[in-house]
Amino acid sequence: MPQGSSQPVRTHRVAVIVDEGTNPFEVGVATELFGLPRPELGLPWPPYEVTLCTPTPEVRMNHGFFTLTGVPGLDAVDDADILVVPGRPDNVVPRGVAVLDAIRRTHARGARVMSFCTGSFALAEAGLLDGRRATTHWRWADSFRELHPKVLLEPDVLFVDEGDLLTAAGSAAALDLGLHIWRRDHGAEIANAVSRRLVFAAHRDGGQRQFVERPVPDVPDESLAPLLAWAQERLGEPLTVADLAARAAVSPATLHRRFRAQLGTTPLAWLTGERVALACRLIERGEVRLDVVAQRSGLGTTANLRARLRRETGLSPSAYRRRFGPVLGESLTA
């Protein structure tokens, strides 16, 4: 398992606001992602610690499934590095003043604030999202636009990362955003290890447009899983979309349609994303030669590696290695 990250030794404190009518699944996602011990990662410190907090001593969950009691009040947000705001179905009902104040003051002191599903309504109601990019569940996108016209809503993506403000599109997309947080804080290899533990894809290509209601085809396309597994074992080879189509015994146009239908992306975009992920893992494991990383990941040239890595992670290879590599003090060389 991945060990020895150069990330500074610290534990991120995560607070989860559980309000009246909150969806239990999203509270479970937060505790599963950030609250459970991960001894298999070999980290010398707990990466995250989770605290649930409520505006009242007793909070009834969505549909009255159960009542949450015995957890701290909203003062717990004052110690949080990350604040999670899950969703609830009654989006047009205003949040309580205490909840909105807790969200505002957490953001004001520089902590990251993230919402799951329709929790973005609360962030918008608190005034944090005006002029900022955000997303929410596709089913409530029109309602969100009507209530919060100043927010730059992106309804087709799984999540939006604005640095200090992060929003996930739906309940399951909370897993995508949570793994993104792991990847940003601790690197791709550790995030991949957590995703394997969850039995969930470390990175799902495409966006929530895949899940918008639409007629089901009479004859669904065959699964792409065998082709993807075959390609992932050969990323360092000069694979092309034509090679993938030949392996699947279909035309490139048919392959393109299947990728769009099943993954919400194109074969070339998927292939490039997998190669960048492999390049990240190679850097994290200590490979310092950029030409070797570029060749083994299938990105070809160091210039292409630099461009693709910066586009995907916001970091140059050297900066990525300083943040996530196993050894400090070495520089990447071409």
CB atoms within 10 A of CB 323: 19
**Residue 216, in any domain of the structure:** no
Task: Single out the residue in 198, 216, 237 at which a domain terminates.
Answer: 198
- Count, residues in the chain: 334
Same domain, yes or no, for 184 and 72?
Answer: yes
Task: Single out the residue in 157, 181, 198 at which a domain terminates.
Answer: 198
How many structural domains does the chain have?
2
Same domain, yes or no, for 77 and 140?
Answer: yes
Side chain identity at residue 323, one-letter code: R
Same domain, yes or no, for 61 and 127?
Answer: yes
Sites in the chain below the pLDDT cut of 70: 1-9, 199, 201-222, 326-334
Same domain, yes or no, for 184 and 261?
Answer: no
Entry pTM? 0.64
CA dihedral 198, 200, 201, 202 (to 10 degrees): -30
pLDDT attached to residue 65: 84
pLDDT attached to residue 296: 93
**Residue 295, in any domain of the structure:** yes
Same domain, yes or no, for 237 and 317?
Answer: yes
pLDDT attached to residue 199: 67
Nearest to 19 by CA among 80, 70, 73, 81: 73
Same domain, yes or no, for 73 and 145?
Answer: yes
pLDDT attached to residue 326: 67
Task: Single out the residue in 143, 163, 198 at which a domain terminates.
Answer: 198
Q: Which residues of 61-92 are buried (b: 16+ CB within 10 A; e: fewer)?
A: bbeeeeebeeeeebebbeebbbbbbbbbeebe
Alpha helices in 239-334 (DSSP H): 241-248, 252-263, 267-284, 290-297, 302-313, 317-324
**Residue 311, in any domain of the structure:** yes
DSSP 198-250: HTS-S---S-GGGGS--PPPSSPPPPSHHHHHHHHTTTTS---HHHHHHHHTS
Same domain, yes or no, for 141 and 266?
Answer: no
63 vs 10, 308, 328, CA distance in Å? 38, 46, 51
**Residue 164, in any domain of the structure:** yes
Q: Are 70 and 77 in contact (CB under 8 A)?
A: no
**Residue 123, in any domain of the structure:** yes
CATH number for the domain including 271? 1.10.10.60
Same domain, yes or no, for 18 and 165?
Answer: yes
CATH number for the domain including 19? 3.40.50.880
**Residue 211, in any domain of the structure:** no
**Residue 7, in any domain of the structure:** no
Same domain, yes or no, for 38 and 162?
Answer: yes
Same domain, yes or no, for 19 and 167?
Answer: yes
**Residue 205, in any domain of the structure:** no
**What are 162's two structure tokens?**
């604005």
First to last CA, the chain: 28
Helix then strand count (H, E) for the chain reads 13, 10
Task: Give me the sign of the Cα torsion angle 219, 274, 163, 55.
Answer: positive
Same domain, yes or no, for 280 and 149?
Answer: no
Structural domain containing residue 143: 12-198
Same domain, yes or no, for 120 and 256?
Answer: no
